[in-house]
Chain A
Amino acid sequence: MSSATVGNSGKFSLYEWIFTTDHKRVAVLYMIGSYAAFFVAGLMAMLMRTELATVGPTITDNPTTYHVWLYFHGAAMIVAYMIPALTGYFANYYVPLMIGAKDVAFPRLNAFSVWLFWMAIILALLTFVIPDPPDIMWTGYPPYSVMTAGNTAFYTFTVLLLGFSSITGGINLITTIVRMRAPGVTWGKLNMYIWCVLSAFIIQMVFVPFLGDAVIMLILDKYLGTNFFNAAMGGSALLYENIFWAYSHPAVYVILLPAMGILFEIVSTFSKNRIFIYKGAVYAGVMGTMAMAGEVWVHHLGTSGNPEWLVTIQVFTTLLISVPVGILMISLVGTLYKGSIEFKTPMLYAVGFMFLFLIGGLTGIPNAMSAIYLHVHGTQWITAHFHYVMAVSMTTAIIGGTYFIWPKLTGKMYNETLGKLGFYLFFVGVNCTFFPWLYLGYLGMPRRYYDYAQFPQFQPLQQFITYSSYLIFVAGLVILFSWLHSLFKGEKAPDNPWGARSLDWTHTETPPPPGNFKEPVTLPADWDPYDYSKK
């Protein structure tokens, strides 16, 4: 590719990495950034769990310190870890390779997206050095976020940078998918991951501006004296809650869909089997989720004083999202049917997802029921539910997906025993942490509590959860070690170690050179990314 962009000399050069426009390197930059956010936000979780181990102060006697950890944990995990990992890292790596393109449509815009992302990461990390860090939770509800001494502007600008990054990334990858598919890669033969990521980006493009509006209005209120959310001057805090959740609920599907896409690839590859009801999964599952993403948010305001007619609508629209998501699950599990299943590490993560997401999805049903919600809203039930359905399930997709593309990405194989050990520790750890957590929420333990003097009877359960959560951290270290071990000691990976049939494995070297394919991809008429009977 001849252009004025920075090439790849084959040797390590920081300059080449920073100014790269190669989608694979951009993907690695996203990967490092999002895993760094995951690590720091995970450390915050460990600190919080330790604090909650006993009634009263455990490691800090300042609730605001705890609230800053909590703010960072929530905000970083969602906007700096999950969304960039799934739509930045995996999408940048997979999309051009899977559709047989040399690169993304706008490589320099792609570099710009990853720069914005890194600036946001740096801005977010400044939370720990500025004098009045934000203590407003990732939701940033006014009037508190307007009244607090905490620096809400850091929150706003981190979110805005990531929003811009996401929109430029979306423009880029949507254009790539629509315009740059190799001849023969037709809409009816797209990989599930491509469908999922396309839908996720469409949701992201439509709804990110809502979040931008909400946080801009927030700093206007705080620093320039406007009154959007000030009840005394005729504004309303409910306005913010609505605009915020109008983005932040669809964001769940921005995270869910690409994660599902990765798992479809893994399950199909390790079962050597077609996607079960491929067209149903695409048109009813993926498209259905995309179409319904925007009509679910009102249930987040379940105790905020919505009129009964709105509650009635909200109950049914929220319950009905179970239909497309259920069809995606049926398709994913159905792909095992008549398959030939090999339990390598990525597949173990995919199997883990099937169970974790099942718990997460089913514990969402009570949240849609407005009467049940009156008790569980704002309790640990909700946190446990979304840790199952988002945090833990999506992490199985991100870590499992990383093991899956590891040989292609690095050119090295990982150690299977270490990989499996990491998975088992992770699986046991998350269940021992979040299952009791659900029960704690049912008993009435509220979320975002630095202390629980009014519920001293919960201390034994809290301690059990704290110790279990350390196991997750240990699992994380084992996983990290397995990757580092592979980088330094791993065997050289063959071009297609898993016997996959999609273009990213069959038509490229390991690791793929700049430009991806030696010659333009040409495909036979009966090519299908999930047809394992060939070769």
Chain B
Amino acid sequence: MDKSYLKRLSYLLFAPLLFVSVASAETGNAIPVPHEGWDHLWLEMMIDIVAIGIIFALVTIYLLVKYRRKNPNDIGEAKPMSALSVMGWVLIPAFVFIADDVYLGVKNMKHYLEFRRPPENSYTVSVDAYMWGYDITYPEGVITSNELRVPVGRPIKVNLTSRDVVHTLYIPDMRTKWDALPGKQMFLWFNPDKIGEHVMTCTEYCGMLHSGMHGKIIVMPEKEFAKWVEENKPKPQLQEPAPAKAPAQPQTEVKTEGGKI
């Protein structure tokens, strides 16, 4: 089936939901802090499921205690139910579940879109995942391995790809992750709003050192970060000695070859 057809159909079906979520995601000018939003959503969802769990558990315990067998010859006394009451027992819970599902789903989409819409002024770095590490390229040309330094308070967009197998870039403290697939450009973004260090690690099984594939995210004050970038930028004059070394080897090669002749 044509993809765009499916897409249009889905927009038609879920248009109101998507509209609500998109609209709420785009209001407000301040840079969102997705991981804080995540914590709110988590709390709300937890209250929801714990409440359902406690109700179910209490009803179950009540029934188990109340209807335990008192005489060895007792039998259950439930009567066959009318079609109407069966319908009621199916449709009313179904309605409650659907209402709760839609409520959670719509709430969720708002936060999801926040995670998936990097602000325009993001500082963009590229991450290449490989077996087993992350290479990070900064827009100024700095290249690091397994250590991502970022300025505090500025949204960071990570362009993500993989050189070999499927990896994931996961930042537990930022409540986000995204897969790095070979041959595909993916992205994620986060908002490091406090100075500090965070773990980044791989969560898609990628072979022997999968659990050793991790690094650090260091959130620095803006000035220090600028200084660090300046110090680590590839400098054109520093690269000159390297080519100077290179001719030395061909020379020796020429000598031995000459000797052979």
- Chain A residues in the interface with B (C-beta under 8 A): 63-64, 67, 135-137, 139, 141-144, 147-148, 231-232, 236-238, 271-274, 276-280, 284, 303-305, 307-313, 315-316, 319-320, 322-323, 326-327, 329-330, 333-343, 351, 354-355, 358-359, 362-363, 365-366, 368-372, 374-375, 377-379, 443-444, 446-455, 532-533
Number of B interface residues, CB 8 Å? 87
Asked whether A304 lies within 8 Å of B201 as measured between CB atoms, the reply is: no
CB distance from B105 to the nearest CB of A (A): 5
Stretch at the interface among B121-129, B178-186, B238-246, B249-257: B178-186
B228 within 8 A of A: no
List 13 additional contacts besides A303-B177, A309-B14, A375-B42; criterion CB under 8 Å: A63-B208, A143-B164, A274-B78, A303-B168, A303-B178, A305-B186, A310-B10, A316-B105, A330-B89, A333-B63, A358-B53, A377-B203, A453-B214
Stretch at the interface among B112-120, B134-142, B147-155, B219-227: B112-120
Residues of A contacting B104 in the complex (Cβ-Cβ under 8 angstroms): 319, 365, 369
Asked whether A351 lies within 8 Å of B64 as measured between CB atoms, the reply is: yes
Picked from B67, B204, B214, the residue with its CB within 8 Å of the CB of A271 is B67
CB distance from A456 to the nearest CB of B (A): 11
Asked whether A446 lies within 8 Å of B78 as measured between CB atoms, the reply is: no
Picked from B60, B76, B179, B199, the residue with its CB within 8 Å of the CB of A532 is B76
Specify which of A278, A339, A354, A443 lies most central, judged by the most chain B CB atoms within 10 Å of its CB.
Answer: A339
From A148, which residue of chain B is reached at the shortest CB distance?
B207
Asked whether A337 lies within 8 Å of B67 as measured between CB atoms, the reply is: yes
From A305, which residue of chain B is reached at the shortest CB distance?
B186
B75 within 8 A of A: yes
Given contacts A305-B181, A446-B202, contact A358 B112 (CB under 8 A): no
Asked whether A279 lies within 8 Å of B10 as measured between CB atoms, the reply is: no
Residues of A contacting B90 in the complex (Cβ-Cβ under 8 angstroms): 277, 280, 284, 327
Picked from A63, A341, A452, the residue with its CB within 8 Å of the CB of B64 is A341
Given contacts A141-B166, A355-B57, contact A451 B93 (CB under 8 A): no
- Chain B residues in the interface with A (C-beta under 8 A): 6-7, 10-11, 13-14, 17-18, 37-38, 41-42, 45, 48-50, 52-53, 56-57, 59-60, 63-64, 67-70, 74-78, 80-81, 83, 86-87, 89-90, 93-94, 97-98, 101-102, 104-105, 108-109, 111-116, 164-166, 168, 170, 172-173, 175-179, 181-184, 186, 199, 201-212, 214
Residues of B contacting A147 in the complex (Cβ-Cβ under 8 angstroms): 164-165
Given contacts A272-B74, A308-B116, A336-B67, contact A277 B7 (CB under 8 A): no
Picked from A329, A378, A453, the residue with its CB within 8 Å of the CB of B204 is A378
Taken together as a complex, chains A and B put the C-alpha atoms of A280 and B231 apart, in Å, by 70
Taken together as a complex, chains A and B put the C-alpha atoms of A447 and B205 apart, in Å, by 8
Asked whether A340 lies within 8 Å of B67 as measured between CB atoms, the reply is: yes
Taken together as a complex, chains A and B put the C-alpha atoms of A250 and B53 apart, in Å, by 25
User: Could you pull out 29 A-B pairs where Cβ atoms are within 8 angstroms?
Assistant: A141-B204, A144-B166, A144-B206, A147-B164, A238-B181, A272-B75, A273-B75, A276-B78, A277-B81, A304-B179, A316-B14, A323-B97, A323-B101, A327-B90, A336-B67, A337-B78, A342-B69, A358-B60, A362-B49, A371-B41, A371-B109, A371-B114, A374-B38, A378-B177, A451-B211, A453-B211, A453-B212, A455-B199, A532-B75
Asked whether A454 lies within 8 Å of B207 as measured between CB atoms, the reply is: no
Picked from B17, B50, B67, B199, the residue with its CB within 8 Å of the CB of A339 is B67
Asked whether B179 lies within 8 Å of A326 as measured between CB atoms, the reply is: no
Residues of A contacting B211 in the complex (Cβ-Cβ under 8 angstroms): 63, 446, 448-453
CB distance from A321 to the nearest CB of B (A): 9
Residues of B contacting A304 in the complex (Cβ-Cβ under 8 angstroms): 179, 181
Asked whether A444 lies within 8 Å of B67 as measured between CB atoms, the reply is: no
Asked whether B177 lies within 8 Å of A340 as measured between CB atoms, the reply is: no
Residues of A contacting B203 in the complex (Cβ-Cβ under 8 angstroms): 377-379, 446-447
Count A-B contacts at CB 8 Å.
Answer: 267
Residues of B contacting A372 in the complex (Cβ-Cβ under 8 angstroms): 38, 41-42, 45, 108
Asked whether B172 lies within 8 Å of A443 as measured between CB atoms, the reply is: yes
Picked from B48, B94, B182, the residue with its CB within 8 Å of the CB of A327 is B94
Taken together as a complex, chains A and B put the C-alpha atoms of A273 and B66 apart, in Å, by 14
Specify which of B45, B64, B205 lies most central, judged by the most chain A CB atoms within 10 Å of its CB.
Answer: B205
Asked whether B86 lies within 8 Å of A279 as measured between CB atoms, the reply is: yes
From B178, which residue of chain A is reached at the shortest CB distance?
A303
From A324, which residue of chain B is reached at the shortest CB distance?
B94
Residues of B contacting A374 in the complex (Cβ-Cβ under 8 angstroms): 38, 112, 115, 175-178
CB distance from B45 to the nearest CB of A (A): 6
Asked whether B10 lies within 8 Å of A358 as measured between CB atoms, the reply is: no
Asked whether A322 lies within 8 Å of B101 as measured between CB atoms, the reply is: yes
Asked whether B113 lies within 8 Å of A316 as measured between CB atoms, the reply is: no
Asked whether A326 lies within 8 Å of B41 as measured between CB atoms, the reply is: no
Residues of B contacting A307 in the complex (Cβ-Cβ under 8 angstroms): 7
Picked from A313, A334, A336, the residue with its CB within 8 Å of the CB of B14 is A313
Given contacts A141-B166, A315-B109, A444-B172, contact A280 B86 (CB under 8 A): yes
Asked whether A322 lies within 8 Å of B97 as measured between CB atoms, the reply is: yes
Given contacts A277-B90, A341-B68, contact A271 B76 (CB under 8 A): yes
Taken together as a complex, chains A and B put the C-alpha atoms of A276 and B6 apart, in Å, by 40
Taken together as a complex, chains A and B put the C-alpha atoms of A330 and B56 apart, in Å, by 9
Given contacts A279-B86, A315-B109, contact A358 B41 (CB under 8 A): no
Which 9 pairs, one residue from A and one from B, show the smallest C-beta to C-beta distance? A231-B183, A273-B76, A444-B172, A378-B203, A319-B101, A371-B111, A449-B211, A340-B74, A336-B63
Residues of A contacting B168 in the complex (Cβ-Cβ under 8 angstroms): 303, 378
Asked whether A326 lies within 8 Å of B93 as measured between CB atoms, the reply is: yes
Residues of A contacting B50 in the complex (Cβ-Cβ under 8 angstroms): 362
CB distance from A49 to the nearest CB of B (A): 15
Asked whether B76 lies within 8 Å of A329 as measured between CB atoms, the reply is: no
From A377, which residue of chain B is reached at the shortest CB distance?
B177
Asked whether A231 lies within 8 Å of B212 as measured between CB atoms, the reply is: no
From A279, which residue of chain B is reached at the shortest CB distance?
B86
Taken together as a complex, chains A and B put the C-alpha atoms of A521 and B77 apart, in Å, by 28
CB distance from A260 to the nearest CB of B (A): 15
CB distance from A487 to the nearest CB of B (A): 28
Taken together as a complex, chains A and B put the C-alpha atoms of A284 and B86 apart, in Å, by 11
Residues of A contacting B108 in the complex (Cβ-Cβ under 8 angstroms): 315, 369-372
CB distance from B158 to the nearest CB of A (A): 13
